[in-house]
Amino acid sequence: MGSVVVVKLLLDTHILIWSQEAPDKLGRVGDVLMDDANDLVVSSVSILEMGQMISTRRIQLKETVLHWMEAVSHCLPLRFVPIDNAIAAEAYRLPDPFHKDPADRILVATARLHQLTLVTADRRLTAYPHVVTLAVI
């Protein structure tokens, strides 16, 4: 019998949104996200980013972010990681070079501290050598 390999994936905010609102954008990574053997993780910073995107009208949802996230949790087996003191401190101790976006810093810090693979289409993040990523192209 073969063993099951659990892949621990941290979903970038846009990947989380695309999983429900535009799954065709995920390409073959969409199949990876739906694999039952995966541990799908969402950072609390994604809730913050989604709220900001709604307030600036970059995205529209038919419900509040919290209700949307609850509905997504019924479709995907998500595990949420809050922004704790260790993540907050790590976000500004990342090896250079890294850009200034605080949400990206929190995502990378979360991935590093929790040994997660960051799923993203952000080329700045996939090019960053100090975090493991799964690129959505």
Cross-strand bridge partners of residue 80: 42
Domain ranges within the chain, ordered by starting residue? 7-135
Q: Cis omega before residue 97 (within 30°)? A: yes
Question: Which amino acid is it at 128?
Answer: Y
The more confident residue out of 7 and 15 is 15
pLDDT in tens, 39-98: 999 999 999 999 999 999 999 988 899 999 999 999 888 999 999 999 999 999 999 999
Class (C level, CATH) for 7-135: alpha beta
The model carries a pTM of 0.92
Q: Assign residue 115 a region: left if phi > 0, alpha if psi is -120 to 50, beta otherwise?
A: left
Calpha distance 56→3 (Å, rounded) = 46
